[in-house]
Amino acid sequence: MDEFTRRELSRQISGLHNPVLGGDELFLSTLQRLRTFCAAHGRAPEPAAPSVEENWLGRWVEAQLAEAHRGTLSGERRALLDEALGRGWALEAIKRG
């Protein structure tokens, strides 16, 4: 079982649905999954999507937005998200939410 599936099943079993923010390695691997999703679909993932992968990625982006609002999202991570989602990703997420 891969790490993503293990974590997703753990979240489903425990009822915890907030993505866990980890170190740089986890951030970068999730960012790569986000880039792949955006390239394939031409849009950002929706947190309420029926697809487990899209739902998880959408919630992860929301978690990054929450970090940005708290002032705890590093400038480097913000720049990487700007590159992946476009500079207005935070404003678009607020409008949707």
Closest CA to 61 of 40, 41, 42, 33: 33
Residues 45 and 8: their CA atoms lie apart, in Å, by 17
Residue 37: predicted pLDDT:
95
Closest CA to 77 of 95, 66, 91: 66
Would the pLDDT of 94 be above 70? no
Lowest mean pLDDT among 3-7, 39-43, 81-85: 3-7
Q: What is the pTM of this model?
A: 0.71
Among 7-11, 56-60, 89-93, top mean pLDDT goes to: 56-60
